[in-house]
Structure 1
Amino acid sequence: MKLSVSCRIAEGFLSKKEAIMTLPELCDLAVDAGYEALCMRGSQIGIHTPAEDVDQAASTIKDRGLGVTMISGDFDIVYNNARGPNCLHDITPYLGLADKLGASLVRVCIKTEDDIAAAQKAADEAKERNLTLVHQCHVQSLFETVDQIETRLREIDRSNFGLIYEAANLEECRQDYGPTTIERLAPWIKNVYLQNQLLKTDGAITLDTWTHGPISFDIIEIPDPGGINFSSVFEGLQKVGYDGPVTVHQSAPEDGSSPTSAAAETAKFLKGLC
């Protein structure tokens, strides 16, 4: 498995737009903490970024000896809002960005049944460039429950349309996220997102799910006990022979402590599981 760190760690705690580190600083963090790649987001580089800045970013990443596992090319995708699926109707700039950064995966967003045909068409275009589109297990999307996820992926029916497996979102929708579910979804898993949370009725964050109503939780660091059972997740991944990227998808620590220290501690923890 390739250990990747998301640009989420270089964003404000509850912001997905505010970058609190430059890209060179983020690359240094990744190298120093022992990661092999970045998972790119619009807070650093997106389809809105001028071409010359994209080229410079690609050079910076390469010079640090890092790869790019996946791109999330705009803010609507990462916010999973009503405009998120717009990417499916004009996928070309997202594919171009992935090519420039050397990423093989492009994250997209599906909210309604009407988006399925657009996803198929976008995947067909991506296939011409040997790229794969992926959708995250995510609340308020057609990828909330395990049944929904499998149904949608079979409906899309494209070899280059896969899944970002994410245990926390499955837990928020009261779904199993261990070996049984991983085995069921294994044919489509192309990336694995890791973030940690502690479900509690008085949690600091409350999200609405379409299938099970509101859920409250606290965000905790990945090595912290009491949250996601990462041993179970990695047991499932190893059982199916998964060898793709594993991406730390945590924001900067809420208490203002060093993102570099948090990233290093997380990498050490995960290397003990991989």
Structure 2
Amino acid sequence: MTIQPALFSKVLRDRSLEEAAELTAEIGYDGFEPMCREPHLDADRTTDEVTALGERLDDLGLEVPCLATYTGNYAGKSESECEAELEELETFFEFARILDCDVVRHDPGEPAIRTATDDDIERASAWYARAADRAAEYGLTLAIEIHARRLCETVASTERVLEAIDRENVGVIHDAGNMFLVGEDFGADSVRRLGDDLVHVHVKDERRVDDPDAAGAFQLETDDGLETFQPRRLGEGAVDHAPLFDALAESGYDGAVTAECHVPQNEPGDDVAVAAHELERLRQLITDAN
């Protein structure tokens, strides 16, 4: 198993894109996953800017495992809005080619699967298939992140959407933190079920809390009702990632695992401390799995 620890630039969201990349390398990560919106790699960047970024990442020895776009979300949008999403997505295809990146995150969208209709799934999947066809022209893979409040918030619902899309260049981003929120198994069974469709991995920690005013707390409607969660640093919440990493090792996963911790950051330098902690914990999980 070869896993390369990567950092989601959102962890360094108050830094410029260039400073975030430099800090990522300085901390010791192997990969840098750009947040594809302001102030980082938004669609208004010029190709010259992206080329300069690619050259700097090469100098820093950083790979780009995935472009984390916020495109898609087709259900409930008009035809013209969906077309606009495709146009913006194609901009990121150009960026991916410049940055030598093979995977682009793209989201079928809301609503949560338990409230979704067959029409929601059919519409989102049809537009997603069009996006995949465009991605194929660039030799790219589109990746659906398993995410709460989405059509793809469980392995089963993700499998259903993948079947409806029916394109070979569409895969899945495993996210144990997101799966924990909705009570979904995020360990060995999820890795086995996803199989070759698993193309990328995100990690973050969360825990249930009683106080909605706790730092960073957010509320989510689940099958158990309205629950409150709080983001934590890896190893300090309720998401045990060890079985996931064991399963990745067993499956022969060869790729990046991106840390995307979203704990509150109130003091200057907190973002660097968080990123360094996540890398230390990631390395330990990789070592233990090996």
TM-score (norm 2): 0.82
Who is 2:116 aligned against? none
* Matched-pair contact (CA < 8 Å) for 1:202–1:216: yes
Cα distance, 1:118 vs structure 2 = 1.4
Who is 1:89 aligned against? 86
AA paired with 2:254? D
Against the structure 1 CA distance between its residues 201 and 230, is the aligned structure 2 distance closer, same or farther, given a 3 Å change threshold? same
* Residue 139 (1) aligns with residue 132 (2): no
Q: Given the alignment, which residue of 241, 249, 252 partners 1:238?
A: 249
* Residue 99 (1) aligns with residue 93 (2): no
Q: Given the alignment, which residue of 265, 269, 272 partners 2:277?
A: 265
Larger gyration radius, structure 1 or structure 2: 2
Cα distance, 1:162 vs structure 2 = 0.6
- 1:173-224, Cα deviation, whole Å (9 max, x unpaired): 1111111111111221111111111112324423434755433111111132
For structure 2, the 5+ residue unaligned runs are 110-119
Who is 1:176 aligned against? 185
Cα distance, 1:137 vs structure 2 = 0.7
* Matched-pair contact (CA < 8 Å) for 1:174–1:212: no
Partners of 2:47 and 2:138 lie apart in 1 by: 19
Partners of 1:231 and 1:153 lie apart in 2 by: 27
Who is 1:26 aligned against? 20
AA paired with 1:271? R
Who is 2:113 aligned against? none
Cα distance, 1:255 vs structure 2 = 4.0
Who is 2:10 aligned against? 8
TM-score (norm 1): 0.87
Partners of 2:106 and 2:8 lie apart in 1 by: 16
Cα RMSD of the aligned pairs, angstroms, is 2.4
Q: Identity percentage over the alignment?
A: 23
Against the structure 1 CA distance between its residues 145 and 36, is the aligned structure 2 distance closer, same or farther, given a 3 Å change threshold? same
Equivalence map 1:32-181=2 (5 Å): 32-41=26-35, 42-43=37-38, 44-74=40-70, 89-90=86-87, 91-111=89-109, 112-113=120-121, 114-181=123-190
* Matched-pair contact (CA < 8 Å) for 1:54–1:100: yes
Cα distance, 1:138 vs structure 2 = 0.8
* Matched-pair contact (CA < 8 Å) for 1:253–1:259: no
Partners of 1:231 and 1:87 lie apart in 2 by: 40
Cα distance, 1:60 vs structure 2 = 1.8
For structure 1, the 5+ residue unaligned runs are 12-19
Against the structure 1 CA distance between its residues 7 and 87, is the aligned structure 2 distance closer, same or farther, given a 3 Å change threshold? farther
* Matched-pair contact (CA < 8 Å) for 1:46–1:72: no
Partners of 1:179 and 1:54 lie apart in 2 by: 38
AA paired with 1:6? F
Partners of 2:30 and 2:82 lie apart in 1 by: 30
* Matched-pair contact (CA < 8 Å) for 1:120–1:156: yes
Partners of 2:82 and 2:198 lie apart in 1 by: 20
